[in-house]
Amino acid sequence: MTPALHLARFAVAEWPGAGTFALPSVLVVAGISSVAIVGLGVAALSQRRSRSYLLITLALATLLVRTLVGGLALEGMLSMHLHHLIEHASDGVMAVLLLAAVYFARTANPRSDEDTI
């Protein structure tokens, strides 16, 4: 085992609840829920076909990123430092996407095609 992988495994062992099924169970439920939510977002996007719905769907997809990053960190494939960096960055991306969706929804003329994709 490489030193980096060994350190990553040691870091996981220090997590509260390490060695139990709590964290993996939460990640599985979060993953299934995220896929369902993104699926609903894609369904709404396919009906509305607007820039705002696209941005909201992308914001919802960041939930999948968070779950994937959590799973990779749990398996020792990501360090805790990188795990936290990516998760906080995805929070920022989600906020920007949601703000942009609200902006475009409020500024687009509903009778024109400027907001359609």
Does any domain span residue 75?
Answer: yes
Does any domain span residue 74?
Answer: yes
**CA 58 from centre of chain:** 9
The per-residue pLDDT for range 4-47, each reduced to its tens digit, is 544 445 455 555 555 678 888 999 999 999 999 999 999 999 99
* Mean pLDDT across the chain: 84
Does any domain span residue 55?
Answer: yes
Supply the range of the domain harboring residue 89: 49-107
Does any domain span residue 76?
Answer: yes
Does any domain span residue 86?
Answer: yes
Residue 5 near residue 11, CB atoms below 8 Å: no
CA distance 66 to 36: 15
**Residues paired with 116 in a beta bridge:** 50
Does any domain span residue 92?
Answer: yes
Flag whether pLDDT at 114 surpasses 60.
Answer: no
Does any domain span residue 44?
Answer: no
Flag whether pLDDT at 87 surpasses 90.
Answer: yes
Number of domains in the chain: 1
- Whole-structure pTM value: 0.74
